[in-house]
Amino acid sequence: MVAAVPHAFASICRIICKFERACTRHQDVATAAEAANWLTSCLVADGYGAHGREAALDDAASVGEVDMLQALEWQRAPPAAETWLAAFCARIDCTTRGLFTPQLDWIAEGGGPVGQVALQRSSVYELPPRRLALGLLAHGLVATGMLPIGEARAAELIDAEGWEQLFGRNLWGPARACMVPQSYRPCLAKLLELSTRAEMQDMRRAAYDVAVACLSQPWEEKFPASLAGA
pLDDT band for position 120 (50/70/90)? confident
- Rounded Cα distance between 66 and 64, Å, is 5
Same domain, 65 and 100: no
- Higher per-residue pLDDT: 26 or 32: 32
pLDDT tens profile 153-167: 999 999 999 898 888
Task: List phi, psi (to 5°) of 6.
Answer: -60, -40
Residue 191 confidence class, pLDDT cut points 50, 70, 90? very high
44 pLDDT higher than 80:
no
Residue 171 falls within a domain, yes or no? yes
Burial class of residue 107, CB neighbours in 10 A (0-12, 13-18, 19+): buried
Domain boundary among 17, 46, 71: 71
Q: How many CA atoms lie within 13 A of 31 on its CB side?
A: 8
H helices, E strands: number in the chain:
11, 0
Residue 222 domain-assigned (yes or no): yes
Q: Does a structural domain hold residue 44?
A: yes
At residue 230, does pLDDT exceed 50?
Answer: no
Helix (H) or strand (E) holding 77: none
Residue type (1 letter), 227: L
- Whole-angstrom distance, CA of residue 104 vs CA of residue 169: 22
Residue 24 confidence (pLDDT): 41
pLDDT confidence of residue 131? 94
Residue numbers of the domain that contains 98: 81-228
Judgement on whether residues 42 and 107 belong to the same structural domain of the protein: no
Question: Do residue 85 and residue 48 come from a single domain?
Answer: no
Percent of the chain at pLDDT exceeding 90: 40
pLDDT per residue as tens digits for the range 50-87: 444 454 445 555 666 677 666 666 665 667 899 999 99
State whether 50 and 98 are in the same domain.
no
Query: Of 52-61, 151-160, 167-176, 207-216, which one has max mean pLDDT?
Result: 151-160
